[in-house]
Amino acid sequence: MAKVRANPFPRVCDLRAYFGRATRSLNERAGLLLILTSAMWGANGVVSRAAVGAIPPMTLVALRWLIVCAILLPLVREPFVRHLPELRRHWRFLAAMALCGYTGFNVLFYLAGHWTTAVNITLLQGAIPPMVLAGAALFKGEKVFLRQILGMAVSFLGVGLIATRGDLTHIAGLSVNFGDMLMLAACALYAGYTIALRGRPRLPPLVFFAGMAVAALVASLPFFAAEVALGHFFWPSTKGFALVVFVAVAPSLTSQLFFMRAVELIGPGRAGIFTNLTPLFGALFAILLLGEPFHLYHAGAMALGLVGIALAESAKRQRIAPA
C-alpha cells in the first residue's frame, strides 16, 4: 500500500480558523491595538513629509477619505442601509466627530507646516494626551490617578527629547507663532474627538465608521475647493497617488478602527497616553525609510515613551474609593 504523503501546507480552513482566532485575540488587546495605531500614525507623519511636491495637502485629505469610502461602503452596504435611519438621527454627532477628528485635524496639521517648524509640530503633538486626560476628568468624570500623570509626564519628556534633538538649549529657540496656534487647535480637536468617542451611538463599529468616513469626505470638499480656487492645486504624481492609497488604507481606515475599539475597551483617558508613541514611531520610520541618522537621544526618547505608558497603565491596578 502506497504511503500517503503529508501535505506540507496547512489547509485553507485551518488558515481561516487561525486568522479568526488571531483577529478575536487582537480585538481584545487594547494595548496592542493602540501601539499599532501609533505606528500607523507615525508612518503618516513620514508620508506627510514625502508628499510635499507630490500631491497638494487638501487634495490628499479629500482623496484619502474618498478611497476609504470606496473600500468600506461596498463591504458594509447591507448593514449601512439597514442602520441608515439611526445614522440620520445622529448626523450632527457624526458630522462633528468627523470634522474634529478626521478632516479638521489633518487640515490644521498640514496648514501649520507653512508657518512653524517641524520641531515645534513634533513637540506640540505631545499636548494631545494632557488634553485628553484633563477633558476626560472634567467632562466625563473619569478618575485621574497619580501614576497616569507621572506616566504622561515621562512620555512627554521622550517627545521633548526628540523635538530638541537631545539638546535642551534648543527649547530657547522655540517661538509661538500662527502655525503653533494652528497645531494646538488641531490637538484640541483630536482630544475632543477622543473624549467624545466613548459616547458614540450603539451602532456596529464598521457602520459607525462608514458614516463618519462619509461625513469626513463631505467636510473635506470645501477645503479642496478652496485649494483649487486659490490656484494651489496640481495633478498628483505617481508617487503622490501611491502615498494617498497608503494613507487611506493604514492611517485613515485601519488605525481609526483600532483606535475606536481601544477607546471602547479602556476609555479615552488611558487610550490617549498612547498617542505619545506617535512621534517616537515617526522618528524610527524616518530613520529606516528616509535614511535620517540614528542618535542616542532617539533611543532615550523611545525608552521614555515606553516607560511612561507602562507607568500610566499600571494605574489601572490602583483601587481608590470615590470621593
HEC letters along 77-128: HHHHHHCHHHHHHCHHHHHHHHHHHHHHHHHHHHHHCCCCCHHHHHHHHHHH
Average pLDDT over every residue of 57-74: 91
In which domain, by residue range, is 141 found?
38-317
Q: How many domains does the chain have?
A: 1
313 within some domain: yes
Pairwise CA distance, residues 32 & 285, whole Å: 18
pLDDT: which is higher, 35 or 154 = 35
Write down the pLDDT at residue 220. 92
pLDDT class of 8 with cuts at 50, 70, 90: very low
Does 117 fall in a domain?
Answer: yes
**pLDDT tens for residues 200-224?**
788 887 888 889 899 999 999 999 9
**Has residue 125 been placed in a domain?**
yes
The separation between the first and the last C-alpha atoms of the chain, rounded to the nearest angstrom, is 78
Residue range 248-282, pLDDT digits in tens: 998 888 888 888 788 778 776 677 677 777 777 87
The pLDDT-based confidence of 165 (bands split at 50, 70, 90) is low
Per-residue pLDDT reduced to its tens digit, 116-145? 665 566 666 767 777 777 777 776 666 767
Q: From CA 148, how far away is CA 314, in angstroms rounded? A: 8
* Assigned domain for 10 exists: no
- The count of other CB atoms within 10 Å of the CB of residue 272 is 27
Nearest Cα to Cα of residue 108 among 48, 50, 170: 48
C-alpha cell at 105: 485635524
> Are the C-beta atoms of 42 and 277 separated by less than 8 Å?
yes
Which of 209, 204, 281, 299 shows the shortest CA–CA distance to 46?
281
Predicted pLDDT at 322: 37
The Cα–Cα gap between 239 and 26 comes to 32
From 27-41, 48-62, 258-272, the region with the lowest mean pLDDT: 258-272
The rounded mean pLDDT for the chain is 76
pTM equals 0.71
